[in-house]
């Protein structure tokens, strides 16, 4: 090929060939293997006078293309020659060269690495949003029954990140932009943070390329996917569906919150609905449950229980108080020990902590309050010395205190 050219690997599965002197560009994306053939979407641009352009960007052709087929290369070269109206230019050699470079790049892939030369992994970075840690760089799932305020919590999470200067993309398969816009204003007032919204109709396996382009164009650092079931290209309970979805998610290359539902089994609150691969593929999962006993329709409590984490121990359950009124929605951290529905579901140490926020207590009084054994209370105090301590009072009676409330 005579003209000077540049072959560029833009992104995973995205390649570009530029011939600057002629204003010709070939770009292929949406690469996939089908019956051992490499298929992609080939877009051709040409700025030469007389070219039959179909857009202001200079596109003369955009269609699916079999890079592995000799005949398909020849046929596409003929089409491009006709549409560009370039007499004497060797489109056949250009298309052939581009296909060979792409095939070779895909065959070689990323190089192998010596593990000893790989930098040590740093601890998972997180943001704290409404008292709940959110992974910055990895996928996590928030799952629960309908009406548990999952989408509302996710939108509030997106808005808070945007308010901190983190570019966020909200990918929505369920409702509409106007619905989310209304709730965003209820959460943050008229000075709403800049959350980017993308309405999705096709499965994530199809939408991933478009979303990746949005992520690159707007420097997005985090995405919300609402919700998993509607973004699947098959039944959620099928292993291949879950694996295909997660492969598409990895192509986005940013941290994410996926919203999912629960199944109706006895242990449905332990893992998201569908294949076990949903639970296994996420870095972290949280089960969301709405209180039935506390408050009313305008004031409710939601519990987030940590069900899975890849690094480190499971975290303590978190509580959120959600209030509705006067066209506004408020979300604040709350102590689950004060909830009629949730207090009994907390581990003993967390119930002890909630009880001691009202003041120090003796082991006997606390055991009676929490319906626990005195020996169990004492063992918990000895084990969690960073949280609990014992101090004698003015009356000579030793009581259990919270460390952060201890008087020096």
Break the chain into its structural domains and give their ranges. 6-108, 126-338, 347-405
CB-CB neighbours of 264 under 10 Å: 8
**Sign of the Cα pseudo-torsion (100, 101, 106, 112, in order):** positive
**Burial bucket for residue 60 (CB in 10 Å: 0-12, 13-18, 19+):** buried
Name the one residue in this structure whose structure tokens are 């879950």: 242
At 59, give phi and psi (nearest 5°).
-70, 130
Structure tokens at 7: 């072959």
Are 333 and 131 spatial neighbours (Cβ–Cβ below 8 Å)?
Answer: yes
Can you tell me the distance from the alpha carbon of 119 to that of 208, in angstroms, rounded to the nearest whole number?
A: 29
Residue 173: name the closest of 122, 233, 121, 133 by CA. 233
What's the rounded Cα separation, in Å, for the pair 311 and 220? 25
Task: Report how far residue 150's alpha carbon sits from residue 146's, in angstroms, rounded to the nearest whole number.
Answer: 8
- Dmax (CA) of the chain: 103
Is the CB of residue 65 less than 8 Å from the CB of residue 76?
yes
Domain topology for 126-338: Rossmann fold (3.40.50)
Contact (CB, 8 A) for 131 and 318: yes
Task: Specify the 3-state DSSP secondary structure of 129.
Answer: strand
Which residue reads 């959600």 in tokens? 322
Q: If phi over 0 gives left and psi between -120 and 50 gives alpha, with beta otherwise, what is residue 312?
A: left
Query: Where does residue 204 rank: exposed (0-12), middle (13-18), buried (19+ CB within 10 A)?
Result: buried
Residue entry with tokens 């909200």: 170
Residue 302 near residue 289, CB atoms below 8 Å:
yes
The phi, psi pair for 317, rounded to 5°, reads -60, 145
pLDDT of the chain, 408 residues: tens digit per residue: 456 789 999 888 899 999 998 899 999 988 888 888 999 999 999 998 889 999 878 999 999 999 999 999 999 999 999 999 987 889 999 999 999 999 999 998 878 889 999 888 777 899 999 999 999 999 999 999 988 999 999 999 999 999 999 999 999 999 999 999 999 999 999 999 999 999 999 999 999 989 998 999 999 999 999 999 999 999 999 999 999 999 999 999 999 999 999 977 777 889 999 999 999 999 999 999 998 755 566 889 999 999 999 988 889 899 999 999 999 999 999 988 888 788 888 888 888 888 888 899 999 999 998 889 999 999 999 999 988 999 998 899 999 999 865 443
CATH number, domain 347-405: 1.10.10.10
């Amino acid at each position: 090929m005579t003209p000077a050219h540049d072959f560029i690997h833009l992104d995973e599965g995205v390649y570009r060939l530029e011939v600057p002197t002629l204003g010709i560009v070939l770009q292929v994306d949406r690469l996939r293997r089908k019956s051992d053939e490499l298929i992609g979407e080939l877009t051709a641009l040409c700025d030469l006078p007389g070219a039959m352009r179909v857009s202001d960007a200079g596109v003369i052709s955009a269609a699916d293309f079999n890079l592995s087929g000799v005949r398909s290369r020849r046929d596409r070269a003929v089409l491009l020659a006709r549409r560009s109206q370039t007499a004497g230019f060797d489109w056949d050699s250009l298309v052939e060269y581009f296909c060979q470079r792409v095939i070779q790049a895909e065959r070689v892939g990323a190089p192998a690495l010596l593990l000893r030369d790989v930098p040590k992994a740093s601890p998972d970075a997180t943001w704290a949003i409404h008292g709940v840690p959110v992974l910055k760089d990895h996928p996590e799932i928030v799952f629960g029954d309908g009406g548990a305020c999952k989408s509302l919590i996710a939108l509030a999470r997106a808005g808070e990140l945007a308010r901190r200067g983190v570019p966020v993309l909200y990918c929505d398969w369920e409702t509409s932009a106007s619905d989310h816009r209304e709730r965003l204003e209820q959460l943050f007032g008229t000075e709403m943070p800049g959350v980017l919204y993308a309405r999705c109709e096709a499965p994530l396996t199809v939408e991933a390329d478009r979303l990746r382009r949005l992520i690159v164009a707007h420097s997005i650092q985090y995405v919300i996917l609402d919700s998993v079931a509607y973004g699947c290209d098959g039944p959620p309970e099928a292993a291949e569906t879950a694996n295909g979805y997660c492969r598409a998610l990895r192509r986005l290359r940013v941290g994410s919150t996926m919203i999912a539902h629960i199944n109706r089994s006895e242990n449905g609150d332990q893992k998201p609905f569908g294949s076990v691969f949903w639970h296994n593929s996420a870095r972290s999962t949280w089960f969301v449950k709405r209180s039935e006993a506390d408050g009313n329709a305008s004031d409710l409590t939601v519990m987030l229980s940590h069900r899975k984490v890849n690094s480190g121990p499971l975290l303590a359950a978190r509580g959120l108080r959600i209030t509705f009124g006067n066209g506004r929605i408020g979300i604040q951290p709350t102590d689950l020990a004060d909830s009629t529905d949730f207090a009994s579901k907390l581990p003993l140490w967390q119930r002890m902590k909630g009880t001691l926020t009202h003041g120090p207590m003796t082991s006997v009084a606390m055991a009676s309050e929490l319906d626990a054994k005195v020996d169990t209370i004492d063992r918990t105090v000895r084990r969690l010395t960073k949280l609990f301590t014992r101090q004698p009072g003015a009356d000579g009676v030793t009581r259990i205190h919270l460390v952060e409330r201890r008087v020096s």
